[in-house]
Amino acid sequence: MTALDIQISVEEGPWPSEVELQTLTERVLGASADFLRREEKQPFPDMLPEVSLVFTDDASIREINAEWRNQDKPTNVLSFPAFPLIPGKMPGPMLGDIILAQETIVREAQDLGKPFDEHLTHLLVHGFLHLFGYDHLEENDAERMESLETRILADLGLSDPYGDSDPV
């Protein structure tokens, strides 16, 4: 499995323990990195790539979302790449930051009828792909990113988050 230096900060909200989050994120982000390396020929730096994960609440992520995206509302996940990156190009040793909001993720998981851990896993994969330059602003980019998410989640034994079908 591709090794990553995952820095976790639990700032606000009733999240699982840091040990549980570390175990989950190492598995999910490691599988995501392995997939990108294998299927997308994504290079990785020789130095251990670092990603920072911030687990917070709706109030905190709302402030960040308002400041950085001019959207004064909470969201489930925000990603901030350390450097602009085109998919498939070499990242620096610092990949960037992923920020997740507990209440929004709980609410969405309930609305989707999915376990919290499954929805959190999907959002970790989603946020991680943003650090490598993937986006979903244009339809073609969204289709590509959703396909990658679906395939990574299938590797992790989870179903397609964008449909009621089994993973491809």
pLDDT at 164: 56
Q: Tell me the helix, strand and coil percentages in the chain, rounded to 5.
A: 45, 15, 40
pLDDT at 2: 80
This prediction's pTM = 0.93
pLDDT at 138: 83
At 1, the pLDDT band (50, 70, 90 cuts) reads confident
Distances (CA, A) of 134 to 20, 112, 164: 27, 24, 24
Span 70-108, pLDDT tens digits = 999 999 999 999 999 999 999 999 999 999 999 999 999
The full set of domains in the chain, from first to last, is 5-155 (3.40.390.30)
Whether the per-residue pLDDT at 17 is higher than 90: the answer is yes
Q: Which residue has the higher pLDDT, 99 or 165?
A: 99
- The residue whose two tokens read 């989950």 is 24
At 113, the pLDDT band (50, 70, 90 cuts) reads very high
Whether the per-residue pLDDT at 168 is higher than 80: the answer is no
